[in-house]
């Protein structure tokens, strides 16, 4: 858990609507209102910790799909996850391309980046990726998508290094779930 002093010293990043973009609903054309931010959370990247604040918005049209609070896609971290996408990419690449064991990956993250991560967390990241890449939707996500009646996709990816494969994630912004 982060201390108050540690939180105050972290770099800040806000996931929010750009001031240059008009706040108009892409679904119905009504104005979009800012509601609140989530109070922030600490995200661990390969380059250190940052404090990420996610802003929530709502469409002013009560009959619109976006009349419930929603966020914009996050570029550095998956929803509700603690580690940044750069950590995910490094872990997944180490395991898939180099067949490194969970313990070995955790040790190398500590040695190269000073990042303390448990082997079980490494395992969870890899298992999440393997499920997502298996092209099978889990039942909860399928149910949530059916209930909402719509899907709004956010595509997120890491630009790969030369000659390397990229990591692509598809997220439904209504249910805030990774699509498998």
Domain ranges of the chain: 1-72, 73-180
1-42: pLDDT as tens digits: 556 666 668 999 999 988 888 899 989 999 999 999 999 999
| Gap between the Cα atoms of 117 and 107, Å rounded | 8
Task: Provide the pLDDT for residue 5.
Answer: 63
* pLDDT top residue among 64 and 164: 64
Question: Please, which residues bridge with residue 44 across strands?
Answer: 49, 83
**Closest-CA residue to 157 (of 147, 144, 171):** 171
Q: Biggest alpha carbon distance in the chain? A: 53
Task: Provide the pLDDT for residue 18.
Answer: 87
For residue 117, pLDDT over 70 is answered with: yes
Q: Which residues contact 114 (CB under 8 A, 6 or more apart)?
A: none
Work out the mean pLDDT of the chain and round it to a whole number.
Answer: 87
Structure tokens belonging to residue 84: 């940044």
Structure tokens belonging to residue 79: 């929803």
Entry pTM: 0.68
In the chain, the percentage of residues whose pLDDT exceeds 90 is: 52
Average pLDDT rounded to a whole number, residues 152-159:
78
């Amino acid at each position: 858990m982060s201390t108050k002093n540690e939180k105050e010293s972290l770099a800040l990043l806000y996931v929010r609507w750009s001031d240059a973009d008009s706040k108009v609903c892409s679904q119905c054309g009504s104005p979009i209102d800012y509601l609140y931010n989530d109070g922030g959370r600490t995200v661990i990247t390969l380059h250190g910790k940052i404090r990420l604040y996610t802003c929530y918005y709502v469409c002013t049209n009560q009959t619109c799909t976006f009349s419930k609070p929603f966020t914009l896609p996050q570029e550095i971290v998956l929803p509700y996850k603690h580690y940044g996408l750069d950590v995910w990419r490094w872990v997944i690449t180490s395991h898939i391309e180099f067949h490194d064991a969970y313990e070995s990956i955790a040790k190398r993250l500590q040695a190269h980046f000073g990042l303390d991560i448990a082997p079980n967390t490494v395992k969870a990241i890899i298992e999440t990726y393997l499920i997502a890449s298996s092209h099978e939707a889990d039942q909860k996500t399928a149910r949530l998508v059916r209930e909402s009646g719509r899907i709004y996709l956010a595509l997120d990816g890491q630009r790969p290094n030369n000659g390397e494969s990229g990591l692509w994630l598809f997220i439904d912004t209504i249910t805030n779930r990774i699509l498998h």
